[in-house]
Amino acid sequence: MDADGEGSGEGVTGHLGDDVVGGDGSSGGAADGVVGVGLLGCGNVGSALIRLVEDHGDTIETRAGVRLEVVAVAVRDVARDRDVPLPARRFTDDAASVVDHPDVDVVVEVMGGVEPARELVLAALEKGKPVVTANKELLADVGKELFDTAESAGVDLLFEASVAGGIPLIRPLRESLAGDRIRRVMGIVNGTTNYVLTRMADDGSPLADALAAAQELGYAEADPTADVEGYDAAAKAAIIAMIAFGARVVAGDVYREGISGVGAGDIAAAADLGYVVKLLAVAEEVDGAVAVRVHPTMVPVRHPLASVLDSFNALFIEGDAVGELMLTGRGAGGLPTASAVLGDLVDAAKNLVSGGRGATIGPLARKPLRPIDEVESQFYLDMEVADQPGVLARIAERFGDHGVSIRSMQQRGIGAEARLVFITHRAREADLRATLADLRSVEAVHHVGSVMRVLGEEP
Ligand SMILES: NC(=O)c1ccc[n+]([C@@H]2O[C@H](COP(=O)([O-])OP(=O)(O)OC[C@H]3O[C@@H](n4cnc5c(N)ncnc54)[C@H](OP(=O)(O)O)[C@@H]3O)[C@@H](O)[C@H]2O)c1
């Protein structure tokens, strides 16, 4: 590669002298406590990581006994000014050469997307080089292939930053809670949608206005589909399920509903009943089967997840021994994400130096996945009905026909404005769907409006 051969290193703010890297091209810096890092990508996360390594290098060396040196960085456009403390000659547009570089001991993948990230990560693992990645899309799509390769090569594949950015989740699940049986992990894992739902609740604004505000603040992309429709959260939910339950889950296995159907009226109705609406990613294991889903959920105001506001993320973990546990913080942003990447990088570097290996997630099992029809929740339903005697009894009968039991009912408005709002006890999704189909055929039911899952009675 051209990292040390070409380009003017002059005029850059870098301090890394050429002497840090074995000038003879020899590897094995790890042996003397110096670990060469190859970076795939230098965008929001990669550039923040380079600055952190520069700023905290001495502290890391004191605490962890390793010296990190960024040896080579792959980008698409080598001509762009990166404003990072690294000589320009360390940059290349030949990503494979970073993986192959003899002085690169650990590869950090922060380029995003599935290809060429997948090929590069596999190549690094096959060469015995540990990999740190922040790429949820990659793990949620081809995680099994990557974990299997890491397993057979006996090298670390670390990915703390891929779920909820700066919040430590993977390590607590994999290490601190390794002896517990995790029953469920529920997360607010998408900052954009949490910001939008918070604005809607605070100002009563419609989704489009709240989304426009998020875009102005840089929380939402120009095309917000991945966030709003729950794709981003679904990828993270798949990774959570892999870690928490050791199950082979890909993003496509995750049942997904975004927030595009949530109206200001739903949020107001939820507030009246003592709930806030959150987009939750839920991974749970019930009777040996794993269920993974993302959908808007009415969360009781007293639940810890209800107090997670704006663009903050949180993970609520339920384990047999630990009970309930919540982790919250910044789920995105270059610096918080780079902080999580750096934690992994230090771990991988320490393991290299000591000749050991970090905790692995082990072989992923082909556990049965519970289809959404079989999942049980409480439900909120709202419907416009004719204000006539006997209507309520006819509606209640339809619920009963499908084994769905009503926990509470309220009538709102009278005459042509009459609406009934129900919250059910726990019911199977399939039974609730059948009830809805039946209710739509009742003449006195003019319209079935919102239907939302409610967090409450649990198995
Ligand atoms: N940003 C966050 O808040 C956040 C949070 C959690 C996880 N992540 C994950 O972290 C990863 C990086 O995110 P980011 O926000 O830093 O992305 P970004 O700003 O778009 O940066 C991507 C970097 O990768 C380089 N790159 C892309 N394709 C390449 C290729 N084929 N060959 C060589 N270089 C290539 C780009 O080069 P150029 O600069 O030349 O275009 C750029 O430097 C993603 O997987 C993302 O999902 C990000």
pLDDT tops 50 at residue 347: yes
Examine the domain organization and report whether 290 and 408 are in the same domain.
no
By most ligand atoms within 8 Å of CB, the mutation choice from 1, 40, 76 for ligand 1 is 76
Q: Is residue 448 part of a domain?
A: yes
Examine the domain organization and report whether 229 and 321 are in the same domain.
yes
Specify the ligand 1 atom closest to the Cα of 165.
Answer: 6
Pocket of ligand 1, beta carbon within 6 A:
41-46, 74-77, 80, 95, 110-112, 116, 134-136, 161, 165, 332-334, 337
DSSP label of 441: T
Examine the domain organization and report whether 159 and 243 are in the same domain.
no
Structure tokens given for 315: 């993970």
Contact 133, 141 (CB under 8 A): no
Tell me the CATH number at 435.
3.30.70.260
What number is the average pLDDT over the span 145-162?
A: 92
Examine the domain organization and report whether 187 and 317 are in the same domain.
yes
Structure tokens given for 57: 């290098």
End-to-end CA distance of the chain: 57
For residue 20, give the nearest of 6, 8, 2, 32 by alpha carbon.
Answer: 32
The pLDDT confidence band at residue 31, using thresholds 50, 70 and 90, is low
Compute how many other C-beta atoms are within 10 angstroms of the C-beta atom of residue 401.
12
Examine the domain organization and report whether 306 and 346 are in the same domain.
no
Among 320, 354, 388, residue at a domain's last position: 354
Q: Give the least confident one: 124-128, 176-180, 261-265.
A: 176-180
The rounded Å distance from CA 195 to ligand 1 centre is 23
Q: How far apart are CA 1 and CA 71, in angstroms?
A: 11
What number is the average pLDDT over the span 287-314?
A: 96
The rounded Å distance from CA 76 to ligand 1 centre is 10
Structure tokens given for 36: 């060469």
Q: Is residue 274 part of a domain?
A: yes
Examine the domain organization and report whether 312 and 347 are in the same domain.
no
Contact 351, 357 (CB under 8 A): yes
Examine the domain organization and report whether 139 and 105 are in the same domain.
yes
pLDDT tops 60 at residue 7: no
Contact 22, 103 (CB under 8 A): yes
By most ligand atoms within 8 Å of CB, the mutation choice from 75, 80, 84, 114 for ligand 1 is 75
**Among protein residues, the one whose CA lies closest to atom 14 of ligand 1:** 44
Domain boundaries, position 227? 183-328
Examine the domain organization and report whether 294 and 350 are in the same domain.
no
Examine the domain organization and report whether 152 and 230 are in the same domain.
no
Contact 319, 72 (CB under 8 A): no
The pLDDT confidence band at residue 53, using thresholds 50, 70 and 90, is very high
State the burial class of residue 197 (Cβ atoms within 10 Å of its Cβ: 0-12, 13-18, 19+): buried
**Among protein residues, the one whose CA lies closest to atom 17 of ligand 1:** 43
The rounded Å distance from CA 133 to ligand 1 centre is 11
**Which position among 236, 278, 350, 367 bears the catalytic label?**
236
Q: Is residue 175 part of a domain?
A: no
Q: What is the pLDDT of residue 389?
A: 87
Examine the domain organization and report whether 107 and 27 are in the same domain.
yes
Total of domains in the chain:
3
Structure tokens given for 228: 């709003």
Q: Is 127 among the catalytic positions?
A: no
Q: Is residue 5 part of a domain?
A: no
Highest mean pLDDT among 142-156, 215-229, 292-306: 292-306
